């Protein structure tokens, strides 16, 4: 199964991260106007309307916007993901991209996960580099014979995080992963620094250099982004979403959402899409 994507112009990355599912064995989503990119670290399946697509660790799916999506998970289901939008009026010259792609083995999948974590690290301070990563990956998923016959070869975006000249320090990669994997747990600067094997001041310098914000400000932003995603794209109850992003109670959850998005959780769930402030 293939999807036709308007790849002649770069997409905009709206969200990017590492998510862990499994508390519920089945979850339903609908992404208004947003294409999904998922790199899996578990075996499961996703339904795209009436089409069921099984996948294995190390594989990537691309999902279309405005489509009922149903994922089925094992008990522990981590995956990297990005939600992207394409510019208006970009319907011409669409290119076929498979729903399911194999990156070529565990080593290449690990490299791609590193590229995604690099894109996560710079997303707040330099979102265009995250867009470059997404554009580059989507072109790499195009079957070789098609990309070589549609305009002189594949396009490779420059400056992709995780490539030479754009690497993220190992300690910071560890912390980025821990934040997204353990978002529902209490997180502190000292605890994250200890687990990454660096001092808290060094970790602060790394985050300020690569993300343009402190470690705990980054944690709050990731929690707010995850909460927005769950509020807008799932039917999960408020209490479950609050737990998933580490809010101890609904009052704290309300404060998190209002601080990030300027509205209540209910208004965010029911209202128009907001951009991060």
pLDDT tens per residue across span 40-58: 999 999 999 889 999 999 9
Look over the chain and give the mean of its residue pLDDT values, rounded to a whole number.
83
Evaluate if residue 139 carries a pLDDT over 80: yes
Q: Which residues make up the CATH 1.10.10.60 domain(s) of the chain?
A: 169-277
Evaluate if residue 129 carries a pLDDT over 60: yes
Q: What is the pLDDT of residue 272?
A: 60
pTM of the prediction? 0.66
pLDDT tens per residue across span 258-272: 999 999 999 998 876
Domain 1-167 CATH assignment equals 2.60.120.10? yes
Q: Partners of 28 in the beta sheet?
A: 70
Q: Which residues make up the CATH 2.60.120.10 domain(s) of the chain?
A: 1-167
pLDDT interval class at 147 (50, 70, 90): very low
- Residues 169-277: name the CATH superfamily: Homeodomain-like (1.10.10.60)
């Amino acid at each position: 199964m293939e999807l036709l994507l308007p790849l002649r112009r770069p997409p905009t990355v709206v969200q990017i991260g590492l998510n862990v599912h499994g508390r519920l064995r089945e979850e339903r989503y609908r992404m208004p106007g947003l294409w999904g990119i998922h790199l899996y670290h578990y075996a499961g399946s996703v339904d795209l309307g009436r089409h069921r697509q099984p996948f294995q660790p190390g594989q990537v799916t691309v999902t279309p916007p405005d489509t009922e999506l149903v994922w089925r998970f094992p008990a522990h289901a981590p995956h990297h993901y990005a939600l992207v939008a394409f510019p208006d009026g970009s319907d011409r010259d669409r290119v076929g991209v498979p729903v399911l792609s194999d990156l070529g083995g565990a080593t290449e999948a690990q490299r791609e996960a590193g590229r995604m974590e690099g894109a996560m690290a710079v997303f707040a301070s330099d979102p265009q580099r995250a867009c470059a990563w997404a554009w580059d990956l989507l072109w790499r998923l195009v079957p070789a014979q098609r990309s070589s016959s549609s305009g002189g070869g594949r396009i490779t975006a420059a400056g992709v995080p995780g490539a030479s000249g754009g690497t993220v320090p190992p300690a910071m990669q560890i912390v980025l992963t821990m934040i997204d994997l353990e978002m529902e747990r209490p997180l502190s600067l000292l605890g994250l620094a200890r687990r990454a094997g660096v001092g808290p001041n060094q970790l602060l310098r790394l985050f300020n250099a690569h993300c343009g914000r402190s470690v705990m400000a980054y944690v709050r932003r990731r929690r707010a982004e995850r909460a927005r995603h769950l509020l807008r794209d799932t039917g999960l109850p408020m209490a479950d979403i609050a737990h998933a992003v580490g809010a101890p109670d609904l009052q704290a959850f309300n404060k998190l959402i209002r601080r990030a998005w300027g509205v209540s959780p209910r208004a965010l769930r029911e209202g128009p899409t907001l951009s991060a402030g």
